[in-house]
Amino acid sequence: MKVFGYLFCLFSLAAPLHADTIYSNLGPSGALYQPDTYGLVAGWFTDFTVSAPFSVSENTSGSLDALLPIFALSTGTAPNGADSNNFPAFNLTLTSGSTVLWHADALFPPWILNDGFTRFHACCGLYSVEIAGVQLQAGQPYLLTASPYTFDTTDAWYLNAQGQPGLEIQTPEPSPLFLLLPVFLAVLCIARLAPTHREAV
């Protein structure tokens, strides 16, 4: 029976503990999205919104990480790239049909400067947003929509090679303490299964 006990201990060490990508329209590697083609998320005289349709490859429950190539556009020269004419916050909404599953206000993406290209040129960066408390069904259509937070918001959601807003959905990585759990369980198993030796009196 101890053999099966040792096998269980080893299995606990081999359990997968990493983030899984359950949807992505980015790629190929090295060119995750078009560096100078984007949809505007802006207030101006009317709201410009950008939506990314997607479906996941497996059922989910709990938190997810959404990775988006979205940036605040700046023509400013401040050290951090900020532009006083742009309040960069945007809202993000997850829907299934007409049902709102999740919503977040005032998300602040990183700045991107006009570097001399005819359009703002981005490469490779992704902005991560945690989507908490949702249950998604594999194969069902969903929509993630970015909208301006205020009238003077000007952000850009960059498009993939097929002209769709770039998006990747992942299950979150476990915390460092959780990563140590299999090691702790394996050590505890082996300690309990190991034979004890007593000295004769």
Domain limits of the chain? 1-17+175-192, 18-173
Q: What are phi and psi of 176, to 5 degrees?
A: -55, -40
Per-residue pLDDT of the chain (201 residues; tens, 9 = 90+): 554 444 444 444 444 455 699 999 998 766 789 888 999 999 988 899 999 999 999 999 989 999 999 999 887 655 566 777 889 999 999 999 999 999 999 999 988 876 544 455 566 689 999 999 999 999 999 999 999 999 999 999 999 999 999 999 999 866 444 444 445 444 454 556 555 544 444
- Provide the token pair at 51: 């939506």
Q: In angstroms, rounded to a whole number, what is the distance separating the alpha carbons of residues 186 and 153?
A: 52
Instruction: Count CA atoms within 13 Å of residue 87 on its CB side.
Output: 10
CATH code for the part of the protein at 18-173: 2.60.120.260
* Cα 41–Cα 88–Cα 29 angle in degrees, nearest 5: 65
Predicted TM-score (pTM) of this structure: 0.75
